[in-house]
Amino acid sequence: MKNFIILILLLSIGLCLTSCGPMWVETPGKEYNLVVNSGGQTLGYAPQSGVKILTIDRFAFKDLNKNDVLDIYEDWRLPADQRAEDLATKMSIDQIAGLMLYSGHQRIPGGGFGPGDTYGGKPFAESGAQSSDLSDQQVTFLTEDNLRHVLFIGVESPEVAAQWNNNAQALVEGLGLGIPSNNSSDPRHQADNDEEYTLGAGGDISKWPPAIGLAASFDPDLVRKFGEIASKEYRALGITTALSPQVDLATDPRWYRFSGTFGPSPELSTDMGRAYVDGFQTSAGDKLITTGWGYESVNAMVKHWPGGGTGEGGRDAHYGFGKFAVFPGKNLETHLKPFVEGAFNLDGGTGKAAAVMPYYTISTNQDPDGENVGNAFSHYFITKLLRNKYQYDGVVCTDWGVTRADRGMATFGSTPWGVESLTEAERHYKVIMAGCDQFGGNNDSGPVIEAYEMGVLDLGEEVMRKRMEQSAVRLLKNIFRVGLFENPYLDVQETNAIVGNAEFMKAGYDAQLKSVILLKNKNTVLPISEDKVVFMPKRFVPAAQNFFGAPIPERWEDPISAEQASKYFKTSENPDDADIAIVVINNPENGRTAGYSAEKAKSGDNGFLPISLQYGKYKATEARDPSLAGDNRENDVLNRTYKNKVVTANNYSDLEMVLKTVQQMKGKPVIVVLRTGNPAIVAEFEKEIDGLLVNFGVQNQAILDIISGDTEPSGLLPFQLPADMRTVEMQMEDVPFDMEYYKDSEGNGYNFGFGLNWSGVIQDERNQKYRVK
């Protein structure tokens, strides 16, 4: 009997060890340890952070605040909303203020703009630091300012990005409540024209057309595919928020940021925006956590509420001369459609875009209460419209630099439009009370804390604490839902295997091919057979400035290298020996500060100029006078008219090159490849040429594949090409498709949805579905 009892006890102990023991296994690593829960979430933590593993109900959990208790926010079994609400109550105001910051643009390595950050007090080149090390300034804003949202602008390599992420996550995991860093990026998949695609080869990241090029496919499924691939690559780089898509309706053809949109069509932009967000945010299979969110999800920050494409005269609100959006057609409601019916009405389980970014613009005279301030400062646009009417409760993050002091009409990076007279802290307070949650481009928590203190004086501590926690919950949900609290770390070998792999590179290249549009093919001059001899003139590139103001010196370029072209046909530098010419040009360029001249303003002029879509001299005889919007403050301009002023495109030399080549070819065919981001007026040269292709920034190889006949063109115009500048001036900034479109020598109209293939005008379900009504 005694032996029988002992046997029963031994069996019971064995069963308990089998069924009652921990259901997790830990694997130590060089940078971080992995803890695999059987039937639960996999955890990653850095031992040097001081975080320990708790075993509760046989599962492993991270003790992020190191109190030896499983707090609600640490329990991965609970919904993200519940966890976020618990954590927000535990955060100090200093910690919430830091969470509400979004860093300025960061280079990895190098840090912020200008001379760059320091590493151990020295410039990076002199420091001996690794490329993946955190700079002194990055350590400061992560530790002292409690910042947890970092914007990448450039990374040395995928491997460096992954290692930097691991270093940053190990640092913040050991601080306070252990809140991970939610890293982000502006769009980074743009193809370079001189890159070459090789079937089966990988690259640094897959290369795709920009948004306007994706729109030329008229295919939302292609955009969803892009989102699915890009999100996988982003996650492998440590990026969990995309500052995209840009669903502004580009209803003014002159707008500087036209190429980042899906064009002026409300229907096409709505479908493309929905597909984009679904692709980025949706996880599936073993990567799924819940309701569509998971370890391949990237939060999409849709922009720019309520639409930034209606700047008066086509001017852009990065500068004071472009701060006013106007609505002469009373068409604001249409501009909301891509948000309300697209990004907030997803097909996938995540439901809505995780975040929204308002644009810099003052949406002139659209607030019924009469306030004219930048959208992020507007209680009407953020709370009454976005939050209340359209029931959006996700994160709202300002565009970069809106709380900085005004530094002049043509200065980049400071955009406090409509609230120029407020202090920096007062601007932060106004943003918070308008209903926003986050400050783009701000590394310093001081003004946010000062804004909180203003609110305490105005509303009382309880009310203001509740308002700050409300933003904290929204921000934390976006970190919980993508799994960062469980495992923010990356396997560098996996990163190298995922980013730019052969499958993704092919998908991107195929999308490039689908974005190219054939507009003219007189006498079926295209495709070009391999026995033909082709002349390709060099192109002069005038001096310019990039988006951020850095100078670009003038130079001569081979738009398509002879070596690359020789793989498709014969080439010659002598037009007399050629059978056909290919001329590559850019759309008419007005410069970084398009629509304004600081030099003219100094001479007593109001400084405002036309933005021209033609190459040759243009006099704005049809421009409105007075302007619809202006600023009567001293040192600003109330009447911003440019009537009767004259401009010529910076790259007028492109038109000269086309016409010169026509003369040199002496009646032999000339093909123009127009690289563009905006609608352009082609009337100055179209009748002189035989073929015209439009591309939006793709690899030259894609152009050659089409010109040579290896691929048939299938792209459709995602906008109208205007007949002339008169119709551009007469159109209303907020109304789509209200221009007279150009008709070419073959009788074809360059309207929205037009394109040719080798058989002629494309007529299919795409341009039937999205035709201009």
State which amino acid sits at residue 548. Answer: F
Q: b or e along 198-212 (b: 16 or more beta carbons within 10 Å of the residue's beta carbon)?
A: eeeebbebbbbbbbb
Residue 449 has pLDDT above 80, yes or no: yes
The torsion region of residue 375 among left (phi > 0), alpha (psi -120 to 50) and beta comes to alpha
End-to-end CA distance of the chain: 92
Q: What is the full DSSP assignment across 93-116?
A: HHHHHHHTEEPPEEEETTBSSTT-
Going by C-alpha positions, the residue among 742, 673, 633, 396 that lies closest to residue 528 is 673
pLDDT at 195: 59
pLDDT at 349: 97
Give the model confidence (pLDDT) of 646-677 as tens digits: 999 999 999 999 999 999 999 999 999 999 99
CA dihedral of 403, 409, 412, 418, whole degrees rounded to 10? 20
Instruction: Give all strands of the β-sheet with 355-358 in edge-to-edge order.
Output: 105-108, 149-155, 182-185, 241-242, 299-305, 355-358, 395-396
Give percent of the chain with pLDDT exceeding 90.
Answer: 89
In this structure, the number of other CB atoms found within 10 A of the CB of residue 85 comes to 18
- Phi first, then psi: give them for residue 606, nearest 5 degrees: -75, -10
pLDDT at 203: 67
Task: Find tokens 């609608």 and name the residue.
Answer: 679
- Phi first, then psi: give them for residue 139, nearest 5 degrees: -60, -40
Contact 140, 186 (CB under 8 A): no
CA dihedral of 477, 478, 484, 486, whole degrees rounded to 10? 30
The residues near 741 (Cβ < 8 Å, ≥ 6 apart) are: 720, 721, 722, 723, 749, 750, 751, 752
Give the model confidence (pLDDT) of 31-46 as tens digits: 999 999 999 999 999 9
Going by C-alpha positions, the residue among 337, 131, 145, 342 that lies closest to residue 224 is 342
State which amino acid sits at residue 413. Answer: G
State which amino acid sits at residue 218. Answer: F
Report, as an integer, the average pLDDT of 568-593: 96
Report the distance separating Cα 437 and Cα 99, nearest Å.
9
pLDDT at 128: 96
Contact 206, 230 (CB under 8 A): yes
Residue 512 has pLDDT above 60, yes or no: yes
**396 pLDDT tier (thresholds 50, 70, 90):** very high
Mean of the per-residue pLDDT values for the chain?
94
Q: Which helix (H) or strand (E) holds 584?
A: strand 580-586
State which amino acid sits at residue 352. Answer: K
* E strand map for 85-205: 101-102, 105-108, 118-119, 122-123, 149-155, 182-185
The residues near 759 (Cβ < 8 Å, ≥ 6 apart) are: none
pLDDT at 200: 56
pLDDT at 194: 58
Contact 623, 610 (CB under 8 A): yes
Residue 127 has pLDDT above 60, yes or no: yes
**299 pLDDT tier (thresholds 50, 70, 90):** very high
Q: Is the peptide bond before 304 cis (omega within 30 degrees of 0)?
A: yes
Contact 625, 566 (CB under 8 A): no
Would you state the structure tokens that stand for residue 265, as one six-digit string?
């069509």
The residues near 482 (Cβ < 8 Å, ≥ 6 apart) are: 240, 293, 294, 295, 297, 298, 299
The residues near 461 (Cβ < 8 Å, ≥ 6 apart) are: none
Report the distance separating Cα 620 and Cα 644, nearest Å.
5
Residue 399 has pLDDT above 70, yes or no: yes
Residue 773 has pLDDT above 80, yes or no: no
DSSP secondary structure letter of residue 294: E
CA geometry: angle at 694 spanning 689 and 698, to 5°? 135
Give the model confidence (pLDDT) of 515-559 as tens digits: 999 999 999 999 999 999 999 999 999 988 876 778 889 999 999
The residues near 300 (Cβ < 8 Å, ≥ 6 apart) are: 241, 242, 244, 245, 276, 277, 280, 281, 343, 353, 354, 355
Give percent of the chain with pLDDT exceeding 70.
Answer: 96
pLDDT, greater one: 725 or 602 = 725
Give the model confidence (pLDDT) of 743-755 as tens digits: 999 999 999 999 9
Report the distance separating Cα 637 and Cα 632, nearest Å.
6
Q: CA 446: distance to chain centroid?
A: 28
Going by C-alpha positions, the residue among 343, 397, 347, 389 that lies closest to residue 368 is 389
3-state secondary structure of 92: coil
**2 pLDDT tier (thresholds 50, 70, 90):** very low
Q: CA 271: distance to chain centroid?
A: 17
**635 pLDDT tier (thresholds 50, 70, 90):** confident
As beta bridge partners, residue 397 has 438
Report the distance separating Cα 595 and Cα 609, nearest Å.
5
Give the model confidence (pLDDT) of 322-342 as tens digits: 999 999 999 999 999 999 999
**267 pLDDT tier (thresholds 50, 70, 90):** very high
Residue 366 has pLDDT above 70, yes or no: yes
Report, as an integer, the average pLDDT of 482-487: 98
3-state secondary structure of 673: strand
pLDDT at 15: 41
Report the distance separating Cα 61 and Cα 492, nearest Å.
24
Q: CA 324: distance to chain centroid?
A: 22
**130 pLDDT tier (thresholds 50, 70, 90):** very high
In this structure, the number of other CB atoms found within 10 A of the CB of residue 11 comes to 10
pLDDT at 154: 86
Would you state the structure tokens that stand for residue 98, as one six-digit string?
């830091």
CA geometry: angle at 564 spanning 558 and 569, to 5°? 105
Residue 470 has pLDDT above 80, yes or no: yes
CA distance readout (Å), 363 to 291, 317, 367, 373, 375: 35, 11, 8, 8, 7
